[in-house]
Structures are given as C-alpha cells and as structure tokens.
Structure 1
Amino acid sequence: MVKRIITIPDTAWAQRVTVWRQVKDVIFIGIGVVMASIGLKGFLLPNGFFDGGAMGVSLLLEMLTPLNLSVLIILVNLPFIYLGYRQVSLWFAIKSTLAIFALALLVHYIEIPAITADKLLIAVFGGFFLGSGIGFAIRGGAVIDGTEVLAIQVSRKSSLTVGDFITVFNVLLFIVAAIFVNLETAMYSMLTYFSASKMVDFLINGVEEYIGVMIISNYSDEIKTKITYDLGRGVTAFKADGGFGEKAKNPDRNVLFCVITRLEITKIQTEIDKIDPKAFVIQYPIKDTKGGMIKKRPLH
C-alpha cells in the first residue's frame, strides 16, 4: 500500500481550524437539540401529533405503547447510529449518539407548557422547531433523526434514490398512523412533516441554493471576462471540441463553468444574453461548495 504524505505548512493554523470547527459543531448540535425539544414538548407531545422519519416512528410508538418517548428516541435511532458508523465515520456516530442522548434527556426532564391548542399552528410551528433542530444537528455533523442514513444504505442496494426511500417510508408511516390512531391526526402530522422538511432544507441549503452553470459559446472569452471582472465570480474554462454542424468546423473552443447562487441566475443570464443570445447554458443544483470566488451563504 502506498502511503500519501501531506505536509501542512502552518501546523498551528491547521489546529486552530480544527478546534473552531469542533466548537461550531458543538454549538450547532446544542441549538438543534434545544429546538427539537421545544418542538416536541411545546407543540407535538401535548397534542398527540407526530412527524415523519425516525422521530415520527418514536412518537407513534409512544402513542401506541406504554414506553417512554425518551427511551424510544434512543432505541429507534440506535440502528441508524450503527449504520452511520459503518457508512460515515466513528466520530459521526459518537456525535450522533451524544446528540440523541441529550435530546432524550431534555424531553424527559424539561417541562414546557402547551403553547397553543390550534391544530394548524401546532402542525406548522411544531414542524418548524423540530425541523430546525434536525437541520442544526446536521450542520453540526450529527443526526437526531437517522432516516437519511438508512435511505443512503437502501439507495446503494436498490434502484430507489434517497428521496424516493424517504417518501415511501413516510407514506407508510402515515398510513399506519391513519389506521391505528385516526385519519385527522395523520393528516395534520403530514403537515408537520412538510413544515419540518422545509426547515431542514432551508438550514442545509439556504435560500440562495448553489447553482452550477455551464456556458458554451463562440464568445467564451468575452463572457469569461464579464463574469470574472464585472460580476466578481470565478470561472473555469474547459477545452472542448464542437461536434455537430457548423460548430464542428471550429473545434477549438472553451466551455465555461461557474458556481453562483439561485438569486444571481437572472443577473448572469442577462449578461450572457448581451454578449451571445444563442449561447447554450446549462444549470443544475449543487449541494455545497468550498473556496473559490462564490457568494457565501448564511451559516457557512
């Protein structure tokens, strides 16, 4: 086996970066645990609502069995923690274990009076707080709802994507709830799940989702200059050949690639149209980025 040796020029700086990353993780996980506890104790539990995913399974079992919710949160998530250890890392599993135990302790010991009796507000704001908790925990490199870890495992061994599995999982969960609890509670709980999932997406991806843009044009140099110097965004040029019709007669060309936020799409498309209205532009979402000349999103 060939060992790769990496030389870090400033060891002290690297250590400070590591420590700051760990501090941020602890802060995010702590906020996540508190937010999820408020959602559970202040909204969902007093009114018999539940969510999707592993947390939804825990809440449903709490309604159908004599077991305490704190115990169920730990038991239901244990298999997901093990999968996280196998798929991600030991450190991920340790942080997730500590986060789940902290959540279970808060749910067991803290008392929060029911904030509202309005079912619509319970569903929306219960999902808001619970989704915020899950999102902040993920930002901290841990999970307090391990459904996505299972979804990744299933997607690797089947044709289902992660999103497909989570959707199927939650549909089955809400069907069970409709049968064993009642249809109205299941329907309100679906609203709770949608609210929570939107908050998770917001905290992970942000409003300004990153978009990758590829531009194929005979005026690539002019477009590259415009994006770099006027819009202040980095651009990478790939050497490419034209492969069809008139373009094949001019094989030497550059394909431009840059990363922008969704709110910047209109601006960059306008500048491209000014130079070459016939330019071929491809856009696709990007989960996250690091470094480069890009606009930073919140919580980075």
Structure 2
Amino acid sequence: MFKERIKNYINEKRTAHFSLYKRGGGVLIGVSLVAAALQLLLVKNYIIDGGIVGISILLAHITDYKVGFYIFLLNTPFLLLGLFYLGKRFLLISLCALLFLSLELYMLEPFPALTKNPILVILLGGICLGMGVGMIIRFGGSLDGTEILAIMLSQRTPFSIGQYVLFFNFFIFFSSIFVFGLLEAVYSLATFCIACKTIDLSLKNIRL
C-alpha cells in the first residue's frame, strides 16, 4: 500500500524533470482536490482520513480551531525533521502545499456538503482525496507527517514503514469512535482504504 509513495518520498530525483511552473500547478491542483474532499464531503459528514489530517479533523471537532490550522501546525515539526532525510525541495513544496490547503479549507468551510449519502461520500471522498494527495507526492511534497515519521522510525527499528503507518492510523480511527461514533469510524476506514489505493494507482507509472 505504501511502497510507491515512499519510493517517491525518498528519491529526490523524482521531480527533477518538472519545471517550476508545472510543479507548482500540479501541487495546487492536488491541494484543491484534497480541500474539496475534506470540506465538501468528509468533514461535514464526520468522516476522517488517516494521519495528520485525521487527527486535525478530530481536534477541530472538539475545539474552536479550524481543520486547516491543525493540519499546518501538526505537520510542520515532522516536515522540519524530514528536511534532513528528504531534502530542501521536499520541505519547501510541502510547506507551500500546507499553506494553500489551510487557505482553501478556510474558503470552502461556509459551503454545505455535496451529499449526505454515505456510499457517495466514501467513494467520491476517497477517490478525490487520493488523487489530490497522489498529485502532491508526484510533484515532490507531502501533507502527512506521520509517513515521514514512519520512514525515520523504520530505519532504527525492526518494524516496516507500513507497519508504523498502520499502527498510527489504527489509533486515530479507534479514537474517532469516541468522538463521532462506531459507524462513522467504519466509514472513515473505508474512505482511507479507497484513498490509499487511489494514491498508489496514481503513482504506479511515475518515471523515477
């Protein structure tokens, strides 16, 4: 599940053939897809994603701060750590992506959810989210600090990157039961699986 995206994180040559304008445009489109998936489908239906985004949705629900604020705040320390492993380009692209995402989430917040149908929310939300995250990774950035942490931990322990990511997300989805309820947690897990599959499919044929 995480093989293709981790390969793109650790290979700094993965975006060398992209121009600055193409890379910026690709990241902006990816951010827009993520923002639309979160604000127009998932958040207002009490469905979360995994990683930092999921934690941010939970925290925003139980506090007075916005989702975009938590996504930027919680990701920043992990991205600074990732600077030493993944390079300056990765850090700059990721920080720009997070800034744009926070802004777009704020702009889309007043709009209602596109649908309340759980099947449509899971499918459309998962696909849209996965496509957006996949584009951001493809053009050299990231929105999820937990995967960066998993890369670093896996280099010092016998556990794999995938095992760490699954552990982090199990804790996040389990916690969502107490915030939103069991059914919403199940919906969130289904959305996460669809998003992960979409990410991996979108990165499968990338020239490395």
Global fold match (TM > 0.5): yes
**C-alpha RMSD of the superposition:** 1.8
State the partner residue of 2:113.
114
TM-score for the superposition, normalised by structure 2: 0.86
**Could you list the per-position Cα deviations for residues 9-39 of structure 1 after superposition, in whole angstroms to 9, with x for gaps in the alignment?**
xxxxxxxx96843232112201110100110
State the partner residue of 2:125.
126
User: Following superposition of structure 1 onto structure 2, how do residues 172-211 of structure 1 map, counting pairs within 5 Å?
Assistant: 172-206=171-205
Gaps of 5+ in 1: 1-16, 207-287, 291-300
Gaps of 5+ in 2: 1-14
State the partner residue of 1:101.
99
Tell me, yes or no, if structure 1 residue 22 matches structure 2 residue 17.
Answer: no
State the partner residue of 1:34.
32
**Could you list the per-position Cα deviations for residues 223-249 of structure 1 after superposition, in whole angstroms to 9, with x for gaps in the alignment?**
xxxxxxxxxxxxxxxxxxxxxxxxxxx
Q: Which has the higher helix share?
A: 2
Q: Which has the higher strand share?
A: 1
User: 1:44/1:159 Cα in 2 relative to 1: closer, same or farther (>3 Å)?
Assistant: same
Report the Cα distance in structure 1 between the residues aligned to 2:201 and 2:112, rounded to whole angstroms. Answer: 28
Report the Cα distance in structure 2 between the residues aligned to 1:289 and 1:165, rounded to whole angstroms. Answer: 27
Report the Cα distance in structure 2 between the residues aligned to 1:125 and 1:150, rounded to whole angstroms. Answer: 28
**Could you list the per-position Cα deviations for residues 172-226 of structure 1 after superposition, in whole angstroms to 9, with x for gaps in the alignment?**
11111113331111111001101110111011114xxxxxxxxxxxxxxxxxxxx
Identity %: 31
Runs of 4+ aligned structure 1 residues displaced above 2 Å come to 17-24, 110-113
| Matched residues, number | 193
The Cα of 1:135 is off from its aligned counterpart by 0.5
Tell me, yes or no, if structure 1 residue 168 matches structure 2 residue 161.
Answer: no
Report the Cα distance in structure 2 between the residues aligned to 1:114 and 1:159, rounded to whole angstroms. Answer: 43
User: Following superposition of structure 1 onto structure 2, how do residues 56-71 of structure 1 map, counting pairs within 5 Å?
Assistant: 56-71=54-69
TM-score for the superposition, normalised by structure 1: 0.61
Tell me, yes or no, if structure 1 residue 150 matches structure 2 residue 149.
Answer: yes
Q: Specify the code of the residue in structure 2 equivalent to 1:35.
A: L
Report the structure number with the largest CA radius of gyration.
1
The Cα of 1:169 is off from its aligned counterpart by 0.9
Report the Cα distance in structure 1 between the residues aligned to 2:121 and 2:144, rounded to whole angstroms. Answer: 20
Larger relative contact order (Cα-Cα within 8 Å, sequence gap ≥ 6): 2
Q: Secondary structure at the match of 1:141?
A: coil
